[in-house]
Amino acid sequence: MAQIEVSLNAPEWTRFIDDLRDKSRLQKGLLTAARIVGFKEVVKHFKEKRNPDGSSWPPWSAAYRKQRARLAGRLASKRARKRAATEGRSLVSQERLLELTGNLRKSFSPSNIKERHGQVALFNAANYSGFHDEGTDRLPRRQFMWISEDGIELAGQIVLNNWAGE
């Protein structure tokens, strides 16, 4: 039996296929950029403790510092308590503003990405993350879910490189 082949060579069909390929590359580039840049940026913000405007995160209140000391004493291992006592230091460190158990920082990963309507959204899986990032009546705003100008530039470069097939 002879085979039959149908070929669609119309310019409109070629443009349609090219558009699909370009959109696919662009989408892949957006997701790649979001994963790489978004994750690095959020981790950097935890480390630097800075808001998008360059200001430092506000320190703990005196009342929360006391509460934190009590919590740290209960959460710390015997080894950590002994080491802190030997070194004459507190178990509570101002260096770890948003990190008591580490859950908030660990709840953000490169896979926490949603793609909707051609946009990419990064999210933190901790259900309380928004309270810290946006602030409340009782919690000061400490923004960590943002991308710097350098990050935006790097993301753009990743998208372009991906789109160009590099």
What are 58-68's pLDDT values in tens digits?
988 888 878 87
CA dihedral 50, 55, 56, 57 (to 10 degrees): -80
Domain around 83: 60-96
Is residue 86 located within the same domain as residue 125?
no
**Model confidence pTM above 0.85:** no
Work out the average pLDDT over 9-38: 67
Is residue 130 located within the same domain as residue 156?
yes
Is residue 161 located within the same domain as residue 111?
yes
Work out the average pLDDT over 8-35: 65
CA distances from 44 to 29, 52, 96, 148, 158 (A): 22, 12, 13, 10, 19
- The per-residue pLDDT of the chain, averaged, comes to 75
Q: CA 44: distance to chain centroid?
A: 9
Work out the average pLDDT over 24-48: 78
How many CA atoms lie within 13 Å of 71's alpha carbon, on the beta-carbon side?
11
Number of domains, the chain: 2
Work out the average pLDDT over 141-151: 87
Is the pLDDT at 145 greater than 90? The verdict is no
Is residue 131 located within the same domain as residue 144?
yes
| Any domain includes 3 | no
pLDDT digits (tens, 9 = 90+) for 69-85: 777 766 767 787 777 77
| Any domain includes 45 | yes
Is the pLDDT at 6 greater than 50? The verdict is no
Is residue 75 located within the same domain as residue 155?
no
Q: What is the pLDDT of residue 119?
A: 66
